[in-house]
Structure 1
């Protein structure tokens, strides 16, 4: 499902919803590490880096069952995710910040599908899940709000969108992005 990196003109016009969706998928597919922030029992955020795999609209990652991350998600499924930020060849930065719900994947057939995709791409994409325990849980996060940061073309672009099924994108009104 990887998309191909598009070259953006020096001064790009704002993207329509389909263009934003393609940009979001492109950023998701060119990265394989994301920061997941969960809510601890004392209300403070707990942020850690995890490898992830995108299949369709979901992002999959593995966690140790005895980890704070698993405990936090089990108690409160709300997570914040950030990824990207690395410099592109032209020195520009782009990335995503997302609000999502994370749940454990328990269906063995679905876990097998995820494993097959991991083994298929791991040699070329750098996806290396590495929980610190043999007792792991496969987690699925489905982003609902996505903030797109794209500085590949001046003056840069920041968009807040809602992702709905099949990665259909709905722009949110400007007052929502405060």
Structure 2
């Protein structure tokens, strides 16, 4: 299942991996987001997100430690999935940027408003000032716990979320 109809044909193996990745991403709306604190310690927080096309979007308070960490170092790690709903989990190295395009923000606001209540997506309750952020994956690891002890596929993400297997963990 290509992420968009404009993408070139891919192998059945790649299509299957991509379908499993999308199932994890679209089946959840809560991710663990790890950022780098100024003192070198990692900081992990749970954040609501949604996927649109080739990115994950989330909202954070502008006065939060998380936003300060991302502003200083836009490299993050993300973990999603697991549990009874799916035997798959996904972790990724991603690069985060602030969304400043007003038209894109308007389109994303409409996406957020259209999410069903059962999605559990909550933009950012109680924050007086927030910012919309976009995470673009560079390296993904898909783990299938249905195959003990957990079969993993390490994938590099190339343009437009085309994936390729890799052994090297070197996100750009």
Scaled to the shorter chain, the TM-score interval is 0.7 to 0.9
- Distance in 2, matches of 1:24 and 1:64, equals 28
Using the TM superposition, give the Cα deviation of residue 59 of structure 1 relative to its aligned residue in structure 2, in angstroms.
0.2
CA contact (8 A) 1:96 1:147 kept: yes
- Counterparts of 1:135-146 in structure 2, within 5 Å, are 135-146=129-140
Structure 1 match to 2:8: none
Does the residue aligned with 2:122 lie in a helix, a strand or coil?
A: coil
Q: Which runs of 5+ in 2 are unaligned?
A: 4-11
Using the TM superposition, give the Cα deviation of residue 31 of structure 1 relative to its aligned residue in structure 2, in angstroms.
0.7
- Distance in 2, matches of 1:26 and 1:52, equals 14
- Distance in 1, matches of 2:17 and 2:116, equals 27
- Counterparts of 1:1-178 in structure 2, within 5 Å, are 16-88=13-85, 93-153=87-147, 156-173=150-167, 176=168
CA contact (8 A) 1:97 1:147 kept: yes
CA contact (8 A) 1:96 1:146 kept: yes
TM-score, with length taken from structure 2: 0.85
CA contact (8 A) 2:26 2:51 kept: yes
TM-score, with length taken from structure 1: 0.83
Using the TM superposition, give the Cα deviation of residue 94 of structure 1 relative to its aligned residue in structure 2, in angstroms.
1.6
Count of residue pairs the alignment pairs up: 159
How big is the alpha-carbon RMSD for the aligned residues of Structure 1 and Structure 2?
Answer: 1.9
Closer, same or farther in 2 for the Cα pair 1:51/1:107, shift >3 Å?
A: same
Q: Which runs of 5+ in 1 are unaligned?
A: 4-14
- Distance in 2, matches of 1:170 and 1:45, equals 28
Which structure would you say has the larger RCO, counting Cα contacts within 8 Å and 6 or more residues apart?
Answer: 1
